[in-house]
Structure 1
Amino acid sequence: MDWSKIKTIFIITFLILDVYLLYQFMKIRDANKYEVISEASFEEKLKADEITYKDFPKDPIKAQYLSAKPKVFTQVDTDKLKGKSEDIRGTGTTTLHVTLEKPIKITAKFEPAELSTFINDNVLFGEDYQYGEKSDKDQSITYFQTAENVPLFKNINGMITFKIGDKNQIVSYDQTYLVEMEKLTAKEEILAPLKAIETLHQKGMLKSKSNITKIELGYSTLIQLAASQVLAPTWRFEVDGKESLFVNAFEGQIIQFNSDEKSKVE
């Protein structure tokens, strides 16, 4: 056996392997470098357009698809509210309508704390909702149901809508509630907030001198069926303290809501 030849073959083989590994390392380094440059470039675009934003998590975030079903309210549910309200309707349906015996006075500049005690003490599953939005046009205040400790954005099957009557008083509310929350997939890394902002910017959804005042992760309805729905992780960006923009945190699509469903913009 010619050990000299074998030794030479091993040396050549290891040299080839080293060259290959170096090539792969350079590719990864260049890809990472390009990604950093691209990110920095987009941040420069935002700066040029005078678009500012709040700090957001820098570390990767993981989430998953969920499924849920609308709850059908029963007599047992409505019995829990008797004595606290003058009119309760909705037994056997997915929407509970409650008229308050004593309207609740709120201030002109409403703060969520004004209703927190009432919701926790008087509303079914009140601890599972958080403040969503106030509409002066509709004279209403909406609270979103939560899942995985984050809100379900504008989900008609998981919200409380308080009706504001005369003299800035809450006179009634409608409630829906999602049950049987199940995890459909394993957790996966979602779109970084800056990438979602880039999508909004590319689609012309962010005007010059806009200020993104709040960045929040939640869920929105991806698929709506008669008896159930699929929920997808969603980024919410509050702009100038009033307008909200939504981006699917897996697919990167912009979500636009109307009264009873959502549509997507590529």
Structure 2
Amino acid sequence: MDWSKTKTIFILAFLILDIYLAIEFFELRDKSDYAVMQEATLEEKLAAEDIKYGDLPEDIGKGFYITAKSKDFTLEEVSKLNDKGQSLVVTNTNIEEESFRSLKMKLTKPFPLPDVNLESKVNQFLKENVISGELYHYWYTDEESNSIICIQKYKNRNIFQSKLDHIGMVILQLDEDNQIYGYEQSMLEGIKEVEEQESTITALKAIEALYNKNYLPENSQIVTMQYGYYTHIPLSNQQILAPTWHIIIETKDKERQDFYVNALEGDVLQLAD
């Protein structure tokens, strides 16, 4: 056997194999680099579709569920409101009750609201005229119903809810002169934190959840983004509220939509008024 020729054949064979493997490696690397280049970031996708979001809230870190129960207002508490120039609106459903899950009060003398510093004046009215009014704060003005919506807070975080849910809310009713003439109140009490804490998703991840569900149309804008608590299915008495991102988007037609994203699980919930 001619070992010299055999050795040469082996060297050539391994050389050809090395060249083939090198070509395959560089082709795979180029494909991988191209795929990475093709996968745009969320920020790039939003920019390409002209979806604006501005400065985002800081990361929350750990989050937790909270529990609460609906308060029953007593006749004794209502009688103290009588001293403040208020009277209970009596209906067929509450005429013989000794406690009330919600109050509907009427002011003897309407309370005027200014054109400026509206939020401050509303918060003042709550503290001075509503049971545990310091727990509530101005949320938004509902021009359609000519009312002002105020909601409870827990540790400076909003307890989000719809008007239909009305679990911890004060609805101030306005007359044509922009005066408060009455209000409806519900309240949560005995709020407790669930001991187990979990990492929350960032504000940008919450936006991504909306984007992936096609809830962010082109040329839209995220006008409000806040972290708080929300229950998608309110119960009659005991409430379980999840840490939640509340996001309001405005379309190019100036239509506004509310969404809630569970800050632990990333599920998207759309608010239905």
> Please, what TM-score do these two structures have when normalized by structure 1?
0.75
User: Is there any run of 5+ residues in structure 2 with no aligned partner, and where?
Assistant: 1-35
In structure 1, distance between residues paired with 2:168 and 2:60? 28
The answer for the alignment partner of 2:131 in structure 1 is 124
In structure 2, distance between residues paired with 1:48 and 1:81? 56
User: Which ranges of 4 or more aligned residues in structure 1 deviate by more than 6 Å?
Assistant: 36-40
The answer for the alignment partner of 2:55 in structure 1 is 55
The answer for the alignment partner of 1:239 in structure 2 is 249
For the 8 Å contact 2:123–2:136, the answer to whether it is kept is no
The answer for the alignment partner of 1:152 in structure 2 is 159
Q: Aligned with 1:81: secondary structure?
A: helix
In structure 2, distance between residues paired with 1:105 and 1:47? 45
TM superposition shift of 1:58: 4.7
The answer for the alignment partner of 2:101 in structure 1 is 94
Q: Aligned with 2:100: secondary structure?
A: coil
In structure 2, distance between residues paired with 1:227 and 1:39? 48
For the 8 Å contact 1:54–1:215, the answer to whether it is kept is no
For the 8 Å contact 1:223–1:231, the answer to whether it is kept is no
The answer for the alignment partner of 1:194 in structure 2 is 204
- Partner amino acid, structure 1, of 2:53: Y
- Partner amino acid, structure 2, of 1:120: K
Number of aligned positions between the proteins: 224
Among the aligned pairs, what percent are the same residue? 33
- Partner amino acid, structure 2, of 1:112: E
Q: Aligned with 1:201: secondary structure?
A: helix
Larger Rg: 2
TM superposition shift of 1:141: 0.9
Q: 1:38 to 1:98 in 2, by over 3 A?
A: farther
TM superposition shift of 1:116: 1.9
- Partner amino acid, structure 2, of 1:152: I
Q: Aligned with 1:157: secondary structure?
A: coil
Q: Aligned with 2:46: secondary structure?
A: helix
User: Is there any run of 5+ residues in structure 1 with no aligned partner, and where?
Assistant: 1-35, 260-266
Q: 1:58 to 1:78 in 2, by over 3 A?
A: closer
In structure 2, distance between residues paired with 1:39 and 1:94? 53
For the 8 Å contact 1:236–1:244, the answer to whether it is kept is yes
The answer for the alignment partner of 1:183 in structure 2 is 193
TM superposition shift of 1:137: 1.4
> Please, what TM-score do these two structures have when normalized by structure 2?
0.74
In structure 2, distance between residues paired with 1:199 and 1:37? 22
Cα RMSD for the two superposed structures: 2.6
